Amino acid sequence: MSPYYGANVQSDGSTVFRLWAPTAGPGLRLEISGRAPIDLQPGPDGLVEHRVPACPPGTRYRYRLADGTEIPDPASRLQDGDVHDCSIVMGQDDYAWQHPSWQPPPWERTVLYEVHAGLAGGYNGLRERLPELAALGITAIELMPIADFPGPRNWGYDGVLPYAPDTAYGTPAELKSLIDCAHGLGLAVMLDVVYNHFGPDGNYLPRLAQPFFREDVATPWGAAIDFRRSEVRRFFEDCACYWLDEYRFDGLRLDAVHAIEDEDWLLELPQRLRQRFAPRRIYLVIEDDKNRSRLLRAGFDAQWNDDGHHVLHHLLTGEKASYYSDYSDSPARMLSRCLAQGWQYQGQASRFRKGERRGEPSGDLPPSSFVWFLQNHDQTGNRAFGERLNQLCDEQALRAAIALQLLSPGVPMIFMGEEIGSNSPFLYFTSHTDEALADAVRQGRQREFEALAAVADLPDPNSPDTYQRSCPWQDNAGGQAWTDYYQHLLDLRHRCLAPRLIGARSGPAMVLGPAAVRAQWRLGDGAGLTVWTNLGSAPCVLPHPLSATPCQSLRYESVDGGLTHACAGELPAGSTLCVLEEPQ
């Protein structure tokens, strides 16, 4: 299924070039390598469409405005170089897929692994890591954005060509090989896509189609994209379909949808994609600071649970600056609410947001609607010095939090390096060739962290060294012990919990102490799951001592002797206990 926009090869060997350019002005041209320029005239609706005979895959092309500005195709499928260079005509998928009918497991059984393809060694380097991730117990890889961005180093959120995989990581065939190999190992592959903004370098859309953006609504990255327009909706829906079809990604994670002002498109998108790809199983996940449960009820599988992360981070580190201030009062109560109902903020006022209310009721949603993580690219990389959690908190408490994350019914996500106890930071990095832009980014980081005494030592985002320091596999002293711990917990999850997670429902949760809670769930087969966790530095008294009666399925303790203490009515500091009881 070819996207509407861009360069589409036809069965007769011609190529149809289609572009929405209502504000390009007179003098717009299509320039094809080795041919005379072609004058283009947008129609009344701004649409440009031109068929070029004998224009095969591999042809280089670009657009040119009357003032001489050279512009790549906004719907380019591949660039001949970087974001300012020519686009390349791509033909139909000719990759010899080895697993064309592979289906991912049900979403409820997913264990995610977020990874940056570049730091993993590109598509080929990441492919070589897949067997160890499968052996660890990962079921789905989530790639940080790969849409073409300026230069060879970027988180991916500065992309400007949403359809084109960045060649800094490898070729399209190598990307397909990565996904094909993952499927052969039983791993799904998701892609993080950015449909809420374009990066600051290489975004030519305002020159071609100013109505693509709204002048009355701003986002942290500039003017909001105008999803009220059918042309814009089609551009991004086709983009989503292209990744799912051409590269056979198994799902998408939509970045920061709270910055998409027009909600109707978000409400419609899940069903449109599922209908288009039926009977394939497709994972659809969102990041939404607004905590809108109606988006999940509209068909998205899950949302990244920032509330769950923030309260856990505060409990583990004691940090309460910035948005952590919203989670510093009665954090155990907030954690119990997140475990029982998904989110803390379901309409309450936020102190950090100066009284603004956020969130909707979420208690009726299944546990699988919430992706639980202790770290991710944002929560680590947006720190001034990119410290990982194992450098910020007590190891025993961290192990207890990991056990809570992996042995609860919510969908867990591991950030690359957690599984080996990496000590390498994950820093914010770019590779802007425009020195003025690079300096603006540096100054922006300085302003953001100006209260820090060590602000003068902030890593330079544009330095290659900042990128290289962010590789998690270069500093993993004691990594095997961490790997063994993750592998043991994920083995328990897959053997004892995963077969029961479809149909699971949250039960009550209660506060046991300043940093201790108990949560319960009824699993799909009627089994009861209870988790006690104490992330504090002192033991807490249990309302009722645990029974020492053997359990048929699972009884797990993160600290040796924890069960003995719990049977005596005390939950040790830095411990998690998990009990699974068979249906009555």
Is residue 258 marked as binding? yes
Does some domain include residue 25?
yes
Q: What is the pLDDT of residue 548?
A: 67
Is residue 314 marked as binding? no
Q: Is the dihedral of CA 257, 179, 474, 493 positive or negative?
A: positive
Contact present, 114 and 144 (Cβ < 8 Å): yes
Is residue 381 marked as binding? yes
Contact present, 16 and 49 (Cβ < 8 Å): yes
- From the list 68, 77, 81, the residue with the least C-alpha distance to 31 is 68
Is residue 257 marked as binding? yes
Does some domain include residue 57?
yes
Of the candidate ranges 92-101, 182-191, 562-571, the one whose mean pLDDT is the lowest = 562-571
Choice among 142, 192, 238, 287 that is catalytic: 287
Does some domain include residue 507?
no
At 127, is the pLDDT very low, low, confident or very high (cuts 50, 70, 90)? very high
81-108 burial string, b = 16+ CB within 10 Å, else e? ebbbbbbbbbeeeeeeeeeeebebbebb
For residue 530, pLDDT beyond 80: yes
Q: What is the pLDDT of residue 547?
A: 78
At 549, is the pLDDT very low, low, confident or very high (cuts 50, 70, 90)? low
Segment 284-290 shows an average pLDDT of 98
For residue 422, pLDDT beyond 80: yes
Q: What is the pLDDT of residue 474?
A: 87
Q: What is the pLDDT of residue 370?
A: 98
For residue 455, pLDDT beyond 80: no
In the chain, what percentage of residues exceed pLDDT 70? 98
Does some domain include residue 210?
no
Is residue 103 marked as binding? no
Is residue 253 marked as binding? yes
Q: What is the pLDDT of residue 90?
A: 97
Q: Report the alpha-carbon distance of residue 67 to residue 27 in Å, rounded.
A: 8
- Domain span at 62: 6-89
Listed in sequence order, the DSSP H helices in 82-171 are 122-136
Q: Based on the structure, what is the number of domains in the chain?
A: 1
For residue 453, pLDDT beyond 70: no
For residue 509, pLDDT beyond 70: yes
Segment 139-145 shows an average pLDDT of 98
Q: What is the pLDDT of residue 428?
A: 96
Does some domain include residue 533?
no
Contact present, 47 and 4 (Cβ < 8 Å): no
Is residue 476 marked as binding? no
CATH of the domain at 82: 2.60.40.10
Does some domain include residue 238?
no
**What digits encode the pLDDT tens for the residues 192-204?**
999 999 999 999 9
Does some domain include residue 36?
yes
- From the list 268, 304, 271, the residue with the least C-alpha distance to 285 is 304
Mean of per-residue pLDDT scores for the chain: 95
Is residue 307 marked as binding? yes
Segment 443-450 shows an average pLDDT of 88
Q: What is the pLDDT of residue 551?
A: 59
356 is catalytic: no
Q: What is the pLDDT of residue 83?
A: 97
Choice among 108, 237, 255, 419 that is catalytic: 255
**Whole-structure pTM value:** 0.97
Is residue 254 marked as binding? yes
At 552, is the pLDDT very low, low, confident or very high (cuts 50, 70, 90)? low
Is residue 306 marked as binding? yes
301 is catalytic: no
For residue 219, pLDDT beyond 80: yes
DSSP SS3 for 66: coil
Is residue 378 marked as binding? yes
Q: What is the pLDDT of residue 479?
A: 80
Does some domain include residue 371?
no
78: its two tokens: 């591949």
Is residue 255 marked as binding? yes
